[in-house]
Amino acid sequence: MKILINGSSGLIGTALVAFLQAQGYQVGRLLRYQQDQHPYWDIDTATFHLKDFCEPDIVINLAGENIGDGRWTKKKATTFR
* 3-state SS assignment for residue 39: coil
* CB-based contact 17:72 (threshold 8 Å): no
* CB-based contact 30:4 (threshold 8 Å): yes
Domain ranges for the chain: 2-78
Residue 55's pLDDT band (cuts 50, 70, 90): very high
Question: What is the structure's pLDDT at 80?
Answer: 62
* 10-37 pLDDT, tens digit each: 889 999 999 999 999 999 999 988 888 8
Q: Of 55, 75, 51, 50, which is closest to residue 65 (Cα–Cα)? A: 75
End-to-end Cα distance, the chain: 34
